[in-house]
Amino acid sequence: MRCIFVTRDRFPSSMYKKLEEVGRVEVYPYGESPWSTRGVPKEVLKDVARRCDALVVFIGDVVDREVLDAAERLKIVSTVSVGVDHIDVEYAKRRGVAVAHTPYVLVDAVADLAVGLLIAVARKIALGDRLIREGRASPVWGSLMGVDLKGKRAGIVGLGNIGVAVARRLLAFGVEVVYWSRRRKPEVEFALGIKYVDLDELLATSDFVVVALALTPETERFFDQKKFGRLKRGAFFINVGRGRLVDTEALLEALEDGRLAGAALDVFDVEPLPPGHKLARMDNVVLTPHIGSAAVETRERMAELAAENVVAFFKSGRPLYAV
C-alpha cells in the first residue's frame, strides 16, 4: 500500500480522510498549530523521501536537494500553500517528483488583508490602538491624522489573481488603480477599467504601492535601493507577496529618510521577524505575522486541495494544480 506522509497532525480532519482514498496516511507528531511555519526536521523529510510515495508539507518544511536526493519512492510533494519557495521545484522535476500547490482558494483572503493593511497604515489605525493601550493617546486625541483613499492612485506590482482581487477592492474605495506585471493583461484592463504603466511611472506616481509578485530567482530583492529611490515621496508601501522580494535595508532607509510615509508588511525576508527588529520600533509601519491566507475557511480549503492534488495524481497521473 502507498505511504502518504503529512508533516502536521492538526490539519482539518477532511484532509486525512481524503488522503486515505489512495494510501496509508502517516502523520508527524507536530504538536502545535498546523499553520506554524516552523519546519519539521530535515532528517524526518529525508527518511520520508526514502520510504513514502507522497509528502504533504507546509511553508517551513524545506524540500531541497538533500531531501530529494534521498527520494527512492517519493513521487509527489503537495504543499498547502500557493508559494513554493520552500521546495526546489526544478530539481524535483529532474528527479521525477511532481510538485503541487494550492492556488486560487486563498486569493480573496490575501486580497482582504492587503486592503486592510493599506487602510491600517494610511489611517494610522494600528498606531492609534497602540497609543491608547499604552496610555499615550491624549496628545493626539482627535488629531491623529491619516490620509484619504478616495482620489489616490494605487500601483499594483504583480497582477496575478491576488493583484486582480486587490484592484477590485480598491476601485470600490474610489482609488485609481494602475499596474505593472511581467505580462500585460488587456482583458483585465478592459473588465476593471485599470491601466497598465511601466514600472518607473508606477513608482513615481503611485500614492500606494501594493506588492503581489511571485518570488522567483529573477524577483528576489526586486525592490532594492534603486527602486525605492524612484518612489513618489510620501507614498505607502504594502507587501503581501514574499519577504525576499524586498531589500529590507533599502526599505528601512526609505522609511527613515521620509521617501515613504509608511509601510504595511505581512511578509519578511527572515521569518519570524526577530524580536526588537527596527521595523517593529517604527510608528509608521504596520506588521502582521504572515497571515495573508489565515482565515479559517480558506485554510481548510487549502488543506483539502492539497489532499485532492495527491488523490488526483495517483488516480490520473497528474495533480489538479501542478507547479
Catalytic residues: 242, 271, 290
Contact 66, 43 (CB under 8 A): no
Residue in this structure with the C-alpha cell 511578509, named with its chain if needed: 267
Biggest alpha carbon–alpha carbon distance for the chain: 68
CA nearest to 210, candidates 248, 241, 171: 241
Kindly state the cell numbers that stand for 320. 489538479
* Contact between residue 320 and residue 309 where contact means Cβ atoms under 8 Å apart: yes
Question: What type of residue sits at position 181?
Answer: S
Query: Among candidates 114, 64, 104, which has minimal Cα distance to 86?
Result: 64
Could you give phi then psi for residue 74, rounded to 5 degrees?
-60, 130
Phi, psi of 264 (to 5 degrees): -135, 125
In terms of Cβ atoms closer than 10 Å to its own Cβ (0-12, 13-18, 19+), residue 214 is middle
Phi, psi of 292 (to 5 degrees): -55, -45
Closest by CA to 122, choosing from 306, 313, 261, is: 261
* Sequence-separated contacts (24+) of 185-190 with Cβ below 8 Å: 185/159, 188/159, 188/164
